[in-house]
Amino acid sequence: MIRHTGMEVITLGVAAGPALRTEEAGISTAVVVDGAYYLVDFGLGCTRAAHTAGLRGRDLRAAFVTHLHSDHVAELSAYLLWNWGAAVDGFTSPVAIHGPSADPWTDSGAAGGTERLVGSLFDAFGYDIAIRTSDEGRPPLGGLVSAHDIRTPGDAAAARPVPVYRDDRVEVTAVLVQHPPVFPAYAFRFDTDHGSVTLSGDTAESDTLAALAEGTDLLVHEAVALDYYRDRGFGAAFLHHQERSHTSPDGAGRVAAKSGARRLVLSHLAGVAPDEYWRAAAASMFPGPVTVARSGLRFPVPARKG
């Protein structure tokens, strides 16, 4: 069930995609602070995973999208439609979704952006939304959910953190990370009275991420098992993407060490490998605790003394 005091992270889903290679749910992470929660990414299975974890839409404060690859947003519509309105213990107060703007280097007809994505979902499910609003007494969904494109100057290599969201429980900061050819792609940091959590999103090994995560209590970082793909004869283009756009587990360990993070959790696991493979590679570079995440695991953030 949801914690009513303190802070914890729940790795609702940890699988990279879009591929079904394990039984793990797609990437999605909840940050729970004093009885409210914040969602980062909406991978396949996150709606049921959130419910199983005791999270109800009524306690959702805000949501964040690291980038617009399908494995990070494919279940956004399902989560909203299954968690909207008092009849399903859903949200009845405004919820903001913050995510990437349109890619300035892509033709505007295909570029998208978070605002456009959410608006398109409202259009696609307009019939269902209208029926449930009139027939079931639900509040108009469009009046509750607002989408906001994060706009950051510069490129990922020289990026500086920017404030994204703030309420009475958290301050959320984002920084551009390198996940070519996708642009923009973000990492997020949550700062609270209890401590801090940083989530890498999808990224190559990144000094800007290490700076964002400086002194963080918990760093949740992606990882790729490149040998899994090499050994199975994946094509050159696919391997090139994995090599330049993701981070090896030892690379995640280096980022954690540079940032001075107190604990490292490996998530968004691309490829299939034993837990010890992931953990040992990261631990070779990071002296602190390393955990290989699984769907539904909870990570309390210990209260800071003083």
pLDDT tens digits along 26-41: 999 999 999 999 999 9
Look up residue 271 and give its DSSP letter: S
Verdict on whether the full-model pTM lies above 0.85: yes
SS3 190: strand
Which of these, 238, 244, 262, lies nearest to 205 by C-alpha position? 244
Model pLDDT for residues 273-299, shown as the tens digit of each residue: 999 999 999 999 999 999 999 999 999
92 touches 133 (CB < 8 A): no
First to last CA, the chain: 28
Contacts (Cβ under 8 Å, ≥6 apart) of 74? 17, 18, 26, 42, 43, 44
What pLDDT is stored for residue 110 in this prediction?
60
- CB–CB of 118/99 below 8 Å? no
Say if residue 191 is exposed, middle or buried (CB neighbours under 10 Å; 0-12, 13-18, 19+).
middle
Q: Evaluate if residue 147 carries a pLDDT over 60.
A: yes
Ordered by where they begin, the domains of the chain are 7-294 (3.60.15.10)
Q: For the chain, what is the radius of gyration of the CA atoms? A: 19
pLDDT at position 107: 54
The Cα 110–Cα 112 span in angstroms is 6
Tokens 């642009």 correspond to what residue? 183
Local structure of 304: helix, strand or coil: coil
